[in-house]
Amino acid sequence: MNPNVNYKKFLKDNIDYLSLENGCVVAAFYKFFQIDDILEFQKILKLILKDSGINGTILVAHEGINGTITGKVFDVSKILNQFWLIKDLVDLEPKYSLTNKMPFLRMKIKLRKEIVSLGVKNILPNKMVGHYVKPEDWNQLIEDKNVLLIDTRNKYEVSIGSFENAINPNINNFREFPEWVSNNLIDDKAKTKNKKIAMFCTGGIRCEKSTSYLKSLGFNEVYHLDGGILKYLEKTSEDKSKWNGSCFVFDYRVSVKHDLKVGDYDMCYACRMPISDADKNSEYFIQGQSCHHCYNSASLKQKVRFKERLKQIQLSKKRNERHIGNINKKNLN
C-alpha cells in the first residue's frame, strides 16, 4: 500500500462500519503521466477490476488516467492496493467520500484523447503547472483583493454552488475555457497582468490543465486548489468555509456538501442538469422526460426514449441488477 495515502486512517476516522453495511466508499482519482500504450493499460485495469464488485468510470489517455470507483470498503481497499503496485500509480492519491447507495450502475474503462478535454495540444501538467494551494491555505489566498478567483467548471455545476466572489466563465464545457481566457484575460491583460489568478474545480484535474494552459500563455502568478473542491469540503469546517451551496459530482449522488455528505439535489434524466425539490414543482418537470432546463429542447421521440430509459433503470435497481444504460452526459443540442 502507498505509504503517502493514509487510507487506513480515513477508514478509522470516517467510517461507521455498521452504518456502511449497505453503503459504499467512493474513491475519486486522477494522475497526469505518459502512457505509451493505452490499450495495454486499459487491459491491465480491466484485469484488476474483473469480477471485483466495483462500479465506476475510468478514462485512459496518453496523458494519464481520471476515474471514480465505488464499492464496499474491503473491495475498494483491495483494488487500490493493486493500483498502487503499478509503477506509474504508486503515488496515486484518491479522494474518499461515503454514500449509502451505489452511485454507478456498472464499471467502464474508456479510452480518450484527453482525460479532461481542453482541446489544446501540448498542454502537459506533469511538466508545467501552477502553484498548488492546500485547502487549509485557500481561504487566505482568496481573501487577497489582488487575486482573481475563477471557477473553471461548467455553468450547470456552478449553478448549485461556488466560492464567494468567484468569477463564473459561464461555459457549457471545459473546451470553451480557452476562448473565455482569450476574451477575458488576454484581451484585458493590462488589467490582469498584476493580479494573481486562482482557479478551482471539482477534484483538481481541470485546474491542473487550466493553470498549465495559462502558464503556456505567459501568466506566472497562477494558483489552484490542491485536491479541488472535494478536498476543501473534506478538510474545512462549515463555520470557516468560503464555499456556498453544494458541489456537483458526476454520479448518481448528484451533489455533496461539507464533510462530503450527499447533497439535496436530484438529476434530470433527460439533460443531466441538477434539480432541487422546488424545481420538481415546475410545470415543465416530468419525471424521466424533462425539466425547466430542457423542456423545449427535446423532441417527442427523445422524451419517449428518456421515459423508457428511466423505467428500465428503476426496474434494474428494484431487481438489484446493473443497467447497461447511463445518463446522457451531453446537452440535448
The residues carrying an active-site annotation are 201
| DSSP output for 19-86 | TTTT-EEEEEEEEE---S-HHHHHHHHHHHHTTS--EEEEEEETTEEEEEEEE-HHHHHHHHHHHTTS
Sequence-distant (6+) residues with CB within 8 A of 284 are 290, 291, 292, 295
Q: Is 224 helix (H, G, I), strand (E, B) or coil?
A: strand
Which residue is associated with the grid cell 493505452? Answer: 38
- Of the CA atoms within 13 Å of residue 294, those in its CB half-sphere come to 28
The number of angstroms, rounded, from the C-alpha of 253 to the middle of its chain's C-alpha atoms is: 12
Q: Which residues contact 144 (CB under 8 A, 6 or more apart)?
A: 196
Helix extents (H) in 109-176: 135-142, 155-158
